[in-house]
């Protein structure tokens, strides 16, 4: 919600799409560097701490992770400083980017440690603190002080520092770090698990972020600003899929060796696919209906790219939030590398071909094609871990997503948009699996109770 609400704020107070495009490019570079700065220890922290209740063993794992991280950060930032000094790069907001990367790295790992220790409340609270203070500081620094994208950087940096402080206050992770109990064997096990994830994450980050670079190269920073606004909205779907992934990750690991694994994994897949399709249709048309007051006129063009980018986000969620768990459950993370290399090559070639001809649409179509290839590849490759049984329920959401592409662009009346999406959603809910109906029913009941409380 904070991500959603910040887009109108940023587009209103950042006068030039080129400035917002530059910030988005800097953020993309930070996200691209996260796998190198964390060494994917965030994944290792969760995987090795989960289901481990021995305090001393937990301390060994955390101490090993801390030592690896410290060495890595010192080496990485020393190398970075030398390169900047020798090359005499003049990069705007350079040290803001460095500070953001550092705070993102520490927060990511500490947050995953809290999950691994089984304290999901601390994990959730730290992210709520981070998100809430990004909103508060953005209002103060961007809207009130008028600091532009420097204010956005500061909002993100300070909020993560507060989230890190909260995790440390609640869990006292620093007290668990004792280099006297540092274990070389544990380090080898963690690195054996994490190192294959680094090229995977780097390729994945590049694939997700590459659109910005192609737009910058073939088009302009202004076009990247337009694209960035579209992506900010579609990030809400990605966030929802991340929530699913984090819950599904724990369940998948615990159920991986069960006898009815294939039945269980199949049921989760079809429910997840159906729910993502439902959210895609509802969200994209809701956004279209309300777009005129959500963003300034200079950014209004960005609505054109929302629907294909939402489709790309859904395919991304299927490949990363669902199928990738097969490699993690089996601890055969290196098997995920060929698929990621494939999508990197496919994305690069399709972006080079499509972007000069179709502009921002070319980047969106390249993303759809790349993620679709990865979904098909992983659907086949992960059969070594689990089989997804065929279910015809998948055809309805696929058909409605394809059909709805035309009404999204051809309908110009808000009321017709509202009528169309209402009919589509009613059809989807009528044929939805029982679990989806239960979820929707529970949400509606809770909303109704909240309304009754407010009325009273």
Q: What is the pLDDT of residues 314-350, one digit of tens each?
A: 998 888 878 887 887 777 777 888 888 888 899 899 9
- Higher-pLDDT residue of 133 and 220 is 133
- Higher-pLDDT residue of 12 and 208 is 12
**Per-residue model confidence (pLDDT) at position 310:** 92
How confident is the model over 271-296, as pLDDT tens digits? 889 989 999 999 999 999 988 888 88
How confident is the model over 398-435, as pLDDT tens digits? 999 999 999 999 998 999 999 999 999 999 988 888 88
Q: Looking at the predicted structure, is the pLDDT value of residue 92 above 80?
A: no
**Per-residue model confidence (pLDDT) at position 420:** 94
Question: Which residues have a Cβ under 8 Å from the Cβ of 410 and sit 6 or more positions away?
Answer: none
Question: Domain locations in the chain?
Answer: 41-194, 195-434
Model confidence at 383, pLDDT cuts 50, 70, 90, reads confident
**Per-residue model confidence (pLDDT) at position 451:** 67
> Mean pLDDT over residues 25-52, rounded?
85
Asked if 324 contacts 196 with a C-beta cutoff of 8 angstroms, the reply is: no
How confident is the model over 143-186, as pLDDT tens digits? 999 898 899 999 999 999 999 999 999 999 988 888 776 678 88
How confident is the model over 126-153, as pLDDT tens digits? 999 999 999 999 999 999 998 988 999 9
Rounded to the nearest 5 percent, the helix, strand and coil shares of the chain are 85, 0, 15
- Higher-pLDDT residue of 308 and 392 is 308
**Per-residue model confidence (pLDDT) at position 455:** 66
**Per-residue model confidence (pLDDT) at position 456:** 63
**Per-residue model confidence (pLDDT) at position 454:** 62
Cβ neighbours, 10 Å, residue 148: 18
How far apart CA 223 and CA 377 sit, in angstroms, is 32
How far apart CA 159 and CA 167 sit, in angstroms, is 13
Q: Looking at the predicted structure, is the pLDDT value of residue 394 above 80?
A: yes
Q: Please state, for a pLDDT cut of 90, what percent of the chain lies above it.
A: 34
Q: Looking at the predicted structure, is the pLDDT value of residue 453 above 70?
A: no
Q: Please state, for a pLDDT cut of 70, what percent of the chain lies above it.
A: 96
Model confidence at 47, pLDDT cuts 50, 70, 90, reads confident
**Per-residue model confidence (pLDDT) at position 199:** 78
Is pTM beyond 0.85 here? no
Helix (H) or strand (E) holding 256: none
**Per-residue model confidence (pLDDT) at position 90:** 61
> Mean pLDDT over residues 240-251, rounded?
79
> Mean pLDDT over residues 436-448, rounded?
77
> Mean pLDDT over residues 88-113, rounded?
86
> Mean pLDDT over residues 286-307, rounded?
87
Asked if 36 contacts 202 with a C-beta cutoff of 8 angstroms, the reply is: yes
Q: Looking at the predicted structure, is the pLDDT value of residue 313 above 70?
A: yes
Model confidence at 450, pLDDT cuts 50, 70, 90, reads low
How confident is the model over 104-114, as pLDDT tens digits? 999 999 999 99
How confident is the prediction for the chain on average, in pLDDT?
Answer: 86
DSSP letter for 432, please: S
Question: DSSP alpha helices (H): ranges in 195-336?
Answer: 197-218, 221-255, 261-294, 306-317, 325-329
């Amino acid at each position: 919600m904070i991500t959603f609400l910040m887009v109108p704020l940023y587009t209103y107070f950042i006068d030039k799409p080129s400035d917002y495009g530059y910030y988005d490019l800097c953020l993309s570079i930070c996200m691209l560097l996260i796998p190198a700065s964390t060494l994917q220890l965030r994944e290792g922290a969760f995987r090795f701490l989960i289901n481990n209740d021995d305090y001393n063993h937990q301390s060994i794992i955390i101490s090993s992770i801390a030592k690896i991280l410290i060495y890595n950060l010192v080496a990485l930032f020393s190398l970075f400083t030398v390169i900047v000094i020798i090359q005499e790069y003049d990069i705007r907001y350079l040290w803001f980017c460095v500070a953001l990367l550092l705070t993102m790295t520490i927060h990511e790992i500490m947050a995953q440690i809290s999950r691994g220790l089984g304290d999901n409340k601390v994990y959730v609270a730290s992210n709520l603190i981070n998100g809430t203070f990004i909103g508060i500081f953005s209002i103060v620094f961007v809207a009130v002080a008028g600091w532009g994208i420097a204010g956005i950087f500061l909002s993100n940096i300070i909020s993560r520092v507060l989230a890190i402080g909260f995790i440390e206050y609640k869990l006292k992770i620093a007290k668990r770090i004792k280099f006297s109990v540092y274990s070389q064997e544990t380090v080898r096990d963690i690195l054996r698990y994490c190192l294959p994830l680094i090229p995977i994450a780097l390729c994945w980050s590049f694939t997700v972020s590459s659109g910005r670079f192609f737009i910058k190269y073939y088009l302009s920073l202004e076009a990247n600003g337009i694209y960035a606004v579209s992506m900010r909205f579609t990030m809400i779907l990605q966030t929802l899929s991340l929530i699913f992934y984090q819950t599904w990750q724990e369940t998948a690991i615990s159920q991986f060796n069960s006898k009815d694994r294939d039945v269980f994994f199949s049921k989760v897949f079809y429910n997840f696919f159906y729910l993502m399709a439902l959210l895609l249709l509802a969200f994209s048309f809701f956004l279209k209906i309300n777009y005129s007051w959500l963003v300034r006129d200079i950014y209004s063009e960005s609505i054109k790219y929302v629907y294909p980018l939402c489709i790309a986000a859904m395919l991304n969620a299927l490949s990363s939030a669902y199928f990738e768990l097969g490699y993690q459950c089996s601890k055969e993370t290196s098997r995920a590398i060929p698929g990621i290399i494939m999508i990197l090559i496919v994305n690069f070639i399709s972006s080079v071909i499509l972007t000069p001809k179709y502009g921002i649409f070319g980047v969106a179509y390249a993303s759809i094609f790349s993620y679709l290839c990865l979904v098909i590849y992983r659907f086949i490759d992960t059969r070594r871990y689990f089989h997804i049984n065929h279910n015809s329920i998948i055809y309805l959401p696929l058909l409605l997503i394809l059909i709805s592409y035309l009404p999204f662009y051809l309908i110009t009346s808000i009321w017709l948009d509202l009528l169309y999406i209402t009919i589509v959603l009613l059809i989807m809910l009528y044929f939805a699996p029982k679990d989806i109906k239960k979820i929707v029913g529970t949400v509606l009941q809770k909303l109704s109770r909240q309304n009754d409380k407010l009325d009273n």
